[in-house]
Amino acid sequence: MRPLLDHLRRFADRTAVLTDTTTLSYRELADRVTWCARDLGTRRTLVLLEARNDIEALTHYLAALAAGHVVLPVPEGADTDALIATYRPGIIVDRHGMRGGDDAPPVLHDDLALLMSTSGSTGSPKLVRLSHTNLAANARAIAGYLDIRDTDRAATTLPMSYCYGLSVIHSHLLVGAALILTDRSVAEPAFWELFDHHRGTTFAGVPYTFELLDRVGFAEMRLPHLRYVTQAGGRMPPERVRQFAALGERRGWALFVMYGATEATARMAYLPPEFARTHPGAIGRPIPGGSFTLEPLKGWPDDTGELVYRGPNVMMGYAERAGDLALGATVDALRTGDVGRRCAPDLYEVIGRTSRFVKMFGLRIDLQRLETSLADDGMPALCTDTGDGLAVVAAGAHDPDDVRRRVARASGLPVAAVRAAAVPALPLLPSGKPDYPRVRTLVADGPPAQESAELIDLFADVLHLDPAHISTDATFVDLGGNSLSYVTMSVRLERALGHLPADWPRLPIRELERRPGPRPRWWRSWGTTLETSVALRALAIVLVVCSHAELFEMWGGAHILLGIAGYNFARFCLTPLSRPERFRHLRTTIAWIALPAVAWVAFALVVTDDYHLSNLLLANKFLGPHDSMTAGRLWFVEVLVWTLIGLTLLFWLPVADRLERRAPFAVAAAFLAVGMALRYDVPGLGLGHDAWFTMLAFWFFAIGWAAGKATTALQRAIVTVVLIVGVHGYFGNSLREALVTTGLVLLIWLPTVRCPAVVALAAGAIAEASLYTYLTHFQVYPLFGSHRLYGVVASVVIGIALTAVVTQVRARMRDRRLTARDPARAPALR
């Protein structure tokens, strides 16, 4: 135990770990590891650890190593039955805590430290055996060629159960650098807020990570502390290597492309940044302490050969049964299976494969074993790679989508990465060997995946877009989704997926497919998931109508709606998209609020005496008249529209846009401070209670905005305190203040609620229609005189009906556009 603990304590008060809510020094981390190691005990055993990127999992991992145990990290939520049955761990640590395992754990070799999955296995519990020497040698080599410094702070963008992710932890703890522990994706704004807040200097990615970076506007982000970015986990297209290398040169950070395998404790080669633009297809040079040889291959040119790697980081060997854990080193060189050649002095590139292993999404997949597994399961098939996924052809009357799902389960790949076709007989060459080029051809022109097609159709239907123009890389926000359409989308998406990921508006369609599927039956029996903002929106508009119709008085709904509007502004308008895209989304959002409002006012001016010409400009609060009984009815819409217009003009300025991207919560908090200054009349305007219904009520919008950008418990607590202080005494009515406070506190702290499906559907319909209900109810409920309940019900029903009509009109307009563009599609659209 002593060497690892001494190493941690050597860095004393240097920062070791940073999370959303916690900062640990190396001394504090060492203390936690010490306590945890005592709980694990001194009897050497195998520890199966559910590895998450959090302090608890990191502490257990280090404690197990410090106490001399052997660790087997597994992904969060993984099915570990086969591993437990095969290797009989003595201790199991998962989300439920630590518990004892097998009373007779296997015998462990003295040098054995870590067991890692051979990624992409097809159900086989085959593991890689790594020694303490392997771990130390690879960590030293990585720290050396990356020049990792004790001032570096690395974000954990990859899981700890993956050798690449674990190597980031080893190499940074080796030199006294810090880890920013997070499970968030680089597609989430909250990741970048955390990264910037903790002055992150580096992060790691697989090829798909860089696709996400392209989509979230990484090129425009201001990350002043970023020093370098690493890429491994599969071949990245040379053009993308050039792209990010050039971006790094412009922005002052370096791109390291790397090559490795679990069997080499992660890394075998790296491409120095200076070669990334001139040799983007190369794997680079061997890491310090390692070397390559090219072993001749029959049928390949003389200057090529199988890449064979030697170095102190080469594994001890494989394990396929518990008895193998007692073995010493059984290999001294790693045959990679890659065909390589020198492309420059001391640089290597991979030009092919000697076997049927492929690597994608950070997984190494044995295609031969995959085919065998499928055949054993009654599905004869041929599998080959397409560069960014798998092509699979199955023989027999199989449903291609069933083929995709079974291949995904067997390989560990997401369903979206598999394309499949079913044929009467497997394609063969004249020699009788499998015709893999034909496999690619058979699936290349096939229809899109059923799950993808269904989700694309769903997005197209809700957002009134052409399905043909929707990519599986697109997100709800990318496609122009906003607060007016997300209610319908959230309800329908929850029904389609059986669950509703909290971050669904910013997840690409293909990523939605990868998220865990429907919850277990016991969970579904509790109802369905409903976003709290949707529930509050439905409740608030009902309270507004009831209070105005004098069915009962419970005021405050409009102010809750204003807070929700600010919350949605933060989520759907201030996104990681480019500045022009942000502007387009804001412009669309304003139009879909202002245009219906102006149209209804115009109608009301003709048939009633309720409004004045100033209402057509949504400017009654500016232009008057102020003494009319009806002129101020639309105050909520006026405040919202002019607030959005002002913020749109502000964030069109490049400097404001950059500042908001760099410090989103700080900017929101600054506007909240301005709103509070207006709330307490610091300028001395002396409007009194009139301020409830004017632009001075902006601070409710700012509360929602800050809540939408809050990513830590401390930030949410700050917003909550400001809310409670600001609402206290604001209305002079305790019930109203309690209602508004409760509603907005729920918005801050409770993202979703569970409720019966019928309640969720009703709430979704009412919330979606909240704008049209608000606009029209003033003219509807008076028609029912003293029958107030009928007036309330009619107001809500008419709001829902108008929303449905507008939705249908938008759908027909879309269909006409598509028909005009392609007349052949008219029958399908009808």
Per-residue pLDDT tens for 414-436? 777 788 888 888 887 655 667 77
> Is 90 exceeded by the pLDDT of residue 559?
yes
Per-residue pLDDT tens for 114-168? 999 875 443 457 899 999 999 999 999 999 999 999 999 999 999 999 899 999 9
> Is 80 exceeded by the pLDDT of residue 454?
no
Asked whether the beta carbons of 89 and 40 are under 8 A apart, the reply is: no
| 144 class by beta-carbon count within 10 Å (0-12 exposed, 13-18 middle, 19+ buried) | middle
Range with lowest mean pLDDT among 174-183, 214-223, 443-452: 443-452
Measured CA to CA, the distance from residue 62 to residue 78 in angstroms comes to 21
| Structure-token pair, residue 267 | 């890394």
Q: State residue 122's pLDDT score.
A: 39
Per-residue pLDDT tens for 207-229? 878 888 887 889 888 899 999 99
Q: State residue 520's pLDDT score.
A: 40
End-to-end alpha carbon distance in the chain: 72
> Is 80 exceeded by the pLDDT of residue 36?
yes
pLDDT band at 829 (very low <50, low <70, confident <90, very high): very low
pLDDT band at 445 (very low <50, low <70, confident <90, very high): low
Sorted by sequence, the CB contacts under 8 Å of residue 281 that are 6+ apart come out as 238, 241, 343, 349
The highest-level CATH class for domain 131-311+337-355 is alpha beta
> Is 90 exceeded by the pLDDT of residue 778?
yes
Per-residue pLDDT tens for 606-625? 988 888 888 888 888 778 77
Q: State residue 464's pLDDT score.
A: 74
Measured CA to CA, the distance from residue 196 to residue 63 in angstroms comes to 30
Identify the DSSP state of 257. E
Q: State residue 825's pLDDT score.
A: 43
> Is 90 exceeded by the pLDDT of residue 373?
no
pLDDT band at 813 (very low <50, low <70, confident <90, very high): confident
Q: State residue 322's pLDDT score.
A: 94
The larger pLDDT score, comparing residue 109 to residue 628, is at: 109
Q: State residue 521's pLDDT score.
A: 39
The larger pLDDT score, comparing residue 72 to residue 518, is at: 72
> Is 90 exceeded by the pLDDT of residue 360?
no
Range with lowest mean pLDDT among 504-518, 573-587, 753-767: 504-518
| 830 class by beta-carbon count within 10 Å (0-12 exposed, 13-18 middle, 19+ buried) | exposed
Which range among 165-179, 478-492, 746-760, 814-828 has the greatest average pLDDT?
Answer: 165-179
State if pTM tops 0.85: no
Q: State residue 355's pLDDT score.
A: 72
The highest-level CATH class for domain 365-447 is alpha beta
Per-residue pLDDT tens for 731-763? 889 999 999 999 999 999 988 887 887 888 889
Q: State residue 483's pLDDT score.
A: 64
Q: State residue 523's pLDDT score.
A: 37
Mean pLDDT, residues 325-339: 93
Neighbours of 510 (CB within 10 A): 20
Range with lowest mean pLDDT among 34-38, 108-112, 219-223: 219-223
Q: State residue 264's pLDDT score.
A: 96
* Domain extents in the chain: 131-311+337-355, 365-447, 451-526, 561-756
Measured CA to CA, the distance from residue 47 to residue 74 in angstroms comes to 11
Mean pLDDT, residues 314-336: 95
Measured CA to CA, the distance from residue 738 to residue 534 in angstroms comes to 20
The larger pLDDT score, comparing residue 486 to residue 334, is at: 334
pLDDT band at 603 (very low <50, low <70, confident <90, very high): very high
The larger pLDDT score, comparing residue 305 to residue 300, is at: 305
> Is 50 exceeded by the pLDDT of residue 826?
no
Sorted by sequence, the CB contacts under 8 Å of residue 736 that are 6+ apart come out as 554, 555, 556
Q: State residue 781's pLDDT score.
A: 95
> Is 80 exceeded by the pLDDT of residue 582?
yes
Range with lowest mean pLDDT among 253-257, 504-508, 518-522, 811-815: 518-522
Q: State residue 827's pLDDT score.
A: 39
> Is 90 exceeded by the pLDDT of residue 398?
no
**Cα atoms in the 13 Å half-sphere on the side-chain side of 794:** 17
> Is 60 exceeded by the pLDDT of residue 203?
yes
- State the SS3 of 95-147: CCEEEECCCCCCCCCCCEEEEEECCCCCCCCCEEEEEHHHHHHHHHHHHHHCC
> Is 50 exceeded by the pLDDT of residue 554?
yes
Mean pLDDT of the chain: 86
> Is 70 exceeded by the pLDDT of residue 41?
yes
Q: State residue 799's pLDDT score.
A: 94
Sorted by sequence, the CB contacts under 8 Å of residue 627 that are 6+ apart come out as none
> Is 90 exceeded by the pLDDT of residue 649?
yes
Q: State residue 555's pLDDT score.
A: 92
3-state SS, residue 50 = strand
Per CATH, the homologous superfamily of domain 451-526 is ACP-like (1.10.1200.10)
Q: State residue 430's pLDDT score.
A: 58
Q: State residue 280's pLDDT score.
A: 92
Mean pLDDT, residues 508-530: 55
